[in-house]
């Protein structure tokens, strides 16, 4: 049996892949491919799909259904280092019970391929003892395993992930100031170590697929690239979802960041939710044209990443980031210039939305 373990990274299309897998559960199962559930809600939903005889899109469903292995990964990490499980993955059983549920589905359904997919798996490679990887290896390392990872150039990645955290309600500093520091020793920056943590001891015989996110986008997006490179015989009639889970655009992000510092939590979350949806209505520069680090932090980022890039080259047998020196070059539009340019258009849009008066008042005062 083939086991593909997609370990992320964050902000490289993992949500779209998970939506694709969960929305095509029955068609894949009929073809011998299992995207296993880990708790009762997911199993109940898959029973409903099976009885109906057709797949149903999972958009809007519980994350326990769409992203079951995020739930698994968060539970395993919590049992390893007390990381915690957010409330949007509710009522989870223990890690042991989740593993038993996966193994029982494998035993009953006898698939030729099993897909475990979670960007949270990326965090496992940098835990102190890698206990979560060890638990996975004890169950699955004897199969034909592929460890699959998408990686994105660190400046674009950190900008996107930092903005994504606004949607979680995080009160953040600025990447041009001290906020960069919290990432440099983490799985969000240490790209080589996060992969090595999987293959060094526990999955030494696994095939390793590491994809540059630029190549992923050039291939048509994360879902099409995964279908092409996972070496699984996917059926040809699967539904492909639209790209999902966008971050707040860089041109608007400082508004959301300040809202989380200056407004009550509920009001700030309304602002961030609105900013996440407004990109299609308000014209703005592309994220990769806006400078969020500043020249000093650009230099730090590049110098700290050079040895990581060298290790990735050794792992992949080529120049993984051919544009490495570009990581240290500032983008053409300063962040605050982009914000000030966008603000009048944002205010016009805000006046047409169902935003509370205190939020509208704050936006107008913020402009002044």
pLDDT category at 82 given cuts 50, 70, 90 is very high
Instruction: Compute the mean pLDDT over every residue in the chain, rounded to the nearest whole number.
Output: 95
Nearest to 133, CA basis, from 225, 186, 176, 196: 196
Tokens representing residue 352 in the block: 């047409």
Q: How far apart are CA 115 and CA 190, in angstroms?
A: 25
- 280 versus 18: which is more confidently predicted? 18
Q: How far apart are CA 201 and CA 130, in angstroms?
A: 10
Tokens 């696994």 correspond to 206
pLDDT beyond 90 at 351: no
On whether the CB atoms of residues 216 and 209 are closer than 8 A, the answer is: no
On whether the CB atoms of residues 325 and 225 are closer than 8 A, the answer is: no
| CB-side neighbour CA atoms (13 Å) of 99 | 15
pLDDT category at 246 given cuts 50, 70, 90 is confident
pLDDT beyond 80 at 286: yes
Predicted local distance difference test score (pLDDT) of residue 242: 76
Predicted local distance difference test score (pLDDT) of residue 241: 82
Predicted local distance difference test score (pLDDT) of residue 69: 98
pLDDT beyond 80 at 342: yes
pLDDT beyond 90 at 133: yes
pLDDT beyond 80 at 36: yes
pLDDT beyond 90 at 193: yes
Provide, rounded to the nearest whole percent, the portion of the chain with pLDDT above 90.
90
Predicted local distance difference test score (pLDDT) of residue 212: 98
Predicted local distance difference test score (pLDDT) of residue 178: 96
Q: How far apart are CA 127 and CA 148, in angstroms?
A: 19
Predicted local distance difference test score (pLDDT) of residue 171: 97
Instruction: State the pTM of this model.
Output: 0.96
Q: How far apart are CA 33 and CA 4, in angstroms?
A: 11
Phi, psi of 151 (to 5 degrees): -125, 145
The dihedral over CA atoms of 253, 258, 264, 270, expressed in degrees to the nearest 10, equals: -20
pLDDT beyond 90 at 176: yes
Provide, rounded to the nearest whole percent, the portion of the chain with pLDDT above 70.
99
> How confident is the model over 93-105, as a mean pLDDT?
98
**Which secondary-structure segment (H or E) carries 35?**
none
pLDDT category at 87 given cuts 50, 70, 90 is very high
pLDDT beyond 70 at 367: no
Predicted local distance difference test score (pLDDT) of residue 365: 85
Nearest to 312, CA basis, from 320, 322, 323, 301: 320
């Amino acid at each position: 049996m083939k086991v593909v373990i997609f370990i992320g990274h964050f902000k490289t299309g993992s949500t779209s892949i998970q939506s694709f897998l969960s929305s095509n559960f029955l068609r894949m199962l009929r073809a011998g491919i299992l995207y296993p559930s880990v708790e009762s809600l997911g199993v109940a939903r898959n029973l409903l799909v099976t009885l109906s005889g057709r797949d149903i899109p999972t958009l809007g469903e519980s994350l326990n259904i769409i992203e079951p292995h995020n739930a698994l990964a968060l539970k395993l990490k919590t049992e390893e280092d007390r990381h915690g499980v957010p409330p949007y993955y509710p009522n989870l059983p223990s890690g042991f019970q989740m593993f038993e549920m996966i193994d029982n589905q494998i035993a009953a359904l006898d698939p030729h391929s099993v897909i475990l997919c979670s960007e949270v798996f990326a965090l496992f490679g940098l835990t102190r003892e890698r206990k979560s990887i060890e638990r996975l290896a004890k169950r699955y390392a004897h199969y034909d395993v592929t460890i699959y990872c998408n990686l994105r150039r660190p400046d674009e990645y950190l900008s996107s992930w930092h903005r994504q955290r606004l949607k979680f309600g995080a009160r953040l500093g600025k990447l041009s100031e001290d906020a960069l520091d919290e990432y440099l020793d983490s799985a969000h920056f240490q790209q080589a170590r996060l992969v090595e943590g999987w293959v060094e001891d526990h999955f030494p015989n696994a095939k390793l697929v590491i994809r540059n996110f630029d190549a992923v986008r050039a291939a048509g997006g994360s879902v099409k690239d995964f279908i092409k490179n996972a070496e699984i015989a996917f059926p040809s009639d699967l539904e492909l979802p639209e790209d999902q889970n966008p971050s707040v655009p860089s041109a608007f992000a400082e508004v959301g960041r300040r809202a989380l510092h200056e407004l009550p939590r509920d009001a700030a979350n309304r602002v961030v939710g609105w900013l996440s949806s407004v990109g299609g209505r308000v014209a703005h520069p592309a994220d990769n044209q806006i400078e969020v680090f500043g020249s000093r932090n650009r230099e730090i980022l590049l110098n700290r990443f050079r040895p990581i890039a060298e290790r990735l080259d050794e792992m992949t047998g080529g120049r993984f980031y051919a544009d490495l020196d570009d990581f240290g070059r500032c983008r053409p539009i300063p962040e605050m210039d982009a914000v000030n340019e966008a603000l009048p258009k944002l205010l016009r849009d805000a006046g047409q939305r169902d935003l509370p008066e205190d939020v509208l008042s704050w936006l107008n005062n913020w402009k002044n």
